[in-house]
Structure formats: C-alpha cells, structure tokens
Amino acid sequence: MTRLRDRRILVTGAASGIGRATVQRLAAEGARVVATDVSPVELDDPGVETAVLDVADEESVVAGVSAAVARLGGLDVLVNAAGILEAAHTHETSLELWNRVLAVNLTGTFLVTREALPALIESGRGVVVNFSSTSASFAHPYMAAYAASKGGIAALTHSLALEYSKRGVRVVSVAPGSVKSGITDNADSWIPEGVDFSLFGKLLPILPTDLTTPVGNPVGRPEAVAGVVAMLASDDGEFITGTEIRVDGGTHA
C-alpha cells in the first residue's frame, strides 16, 4: 500500500512504542518522515530521517520543526506522539511532577503544532494527529496529571479543528488505551507504592491479546494504533476532523 507516497510527515516521540511503530507504518506506506525524540532515534527504514527534538523546550521546537520542514521541502502531516507518564497519589503529587507532565504532553503538543501550522496551511491538505488517551474521558487511578494533560490535548484538538477548517487543515486525536508503549513497558517503575491494584481492573481490554506489561496487565500491539494514524494521515481520513478515535481493545466499551 502506497497511499502516503507523496506525504511529508513529522513525528515526535518516535524512539519507542507507538511513536516508533507509527513512523515505520507511515514509511511503509510511502511517506517521507522526519522522526524525532528527546533521545536519539535509531531507525534505518527507507524514507526516514531522524533528529533530536525536545518538545518541552521552545527553542528546541522552533529550531527542530524549521529544520524538519526544510529537510522535507514542506509539511503535510504532523503526528504529536511525544508523551510521558509519571504517576502518584494525588495528595502526594508535587507541583514539579505536575508541571513536568503537562510541559511535555500538553505544552509540547501546542508548541510543535504552533510551529508546524504555517507549513501545514501552505500544504493545502495539512493534517495534525494528536495523541490523547482514554484517561481523558475515563478514570485512571494515580494519573491525575497525565489525565489532565491528555484532556487538554482533546480540547485543543477540537479548537484547532474549527479554527483551521477553512484553511485546509484537519486535526484529529487518537486515544490509545491498553496498548504496549514506552510507558507501559516501564509500568513497574512509575506505579507508586501502596496502590490498590483492584482499581486497574477497569483498564483492561476485552479483546484477547498475548502481550502484557511488566506488571502483568494485557495490552494490544502498538501497530494497531499506527494503522489508525496512517488512515487519518491519508485521503482515507479526508472527512474526519475535530474528534477522537479510541483504540483500546474495547476497554471502555
């Protein structure tokens, strides 16, 4: 399938998990991709160039987006996949933790989108795919900062979709849940002490899967999310904007 063969795409958070799978899927469908992350991205797929970009640092974003647009000769699609999760009992959550999570997830999405919009408008068929989360709409224990950041991304998506609808830009968010990612791979490191694990029972998929997190919870393949992103980036998603697509194996059916 080569439905993205003439698309120029920038992806953040591309070093691992869903971001990495997304880059590989977009490239496999013919896109030219600049894959970025705060850490070096190790990918040698045809059509993929890599760069370091810290979405929480405005100077890095301004320079990184400009460089990516120059390397690609323009920009048709932006995929904001960069994100972090730090969990804590809310009454023990420090302001530093709260600000750090929002700086990467919400402010980072805003900064990269802001810098990319002129090129996306010039493209005439620009697409922004943001990464929200099922935590934006459904209770996730110990993740207040993360959930707030993802809820903000959902709201930002709606606002941008309307504001730029007459300028040829579509804006959509995907809301993964129960999907293998860099975050779930490190689940045993961010789950705080003294949690009630029975509360996590609400976060399990209903579709069968052989994958699990380090703490034993079942998860789906990141490629499942990557396929949705590829559809949204292509002409197959031409009439989709201002909404969220939940990819969670029926966790919240």
Are 239 and 197 in contact, with CB atoms under 8 Å apart? no
- 172 three-state secondary structure: strand
Which listed residue (35, 146, 228, 244) is catalytic?
A: 146
76: nearest Cα among 184, 215, 237: 237
Q: How remote is the C-alpha of 52 from its chain's centroid?
A: 16
The DSSP letter of residue 179 is B
Rounded to whole angstroms, how far apart are CA atoms 161 and 249?
26
Q: Angle at Cα 13 formed by Cα 112 and Cα 1, nearest 5°?
A: 100
Q: Is 146 a catalytic residue?
A: yes
Taking residue 110's Cβ as centre, other Cβ atoms within 10 Å add up to: 17
Are 21 and 245 in contact, with CB atoms under 8 Å apart? no
The DSSP letter of residue 69 is H
Q: Angle at Cα 119 formed by Cα 66 and Cα 157, nearest 5°?
A: 105
CB under 8 Å to 191, separation ≥6 — which residues?
Answer: 87, 142, 215
Residues catalogued as catalytic: 146
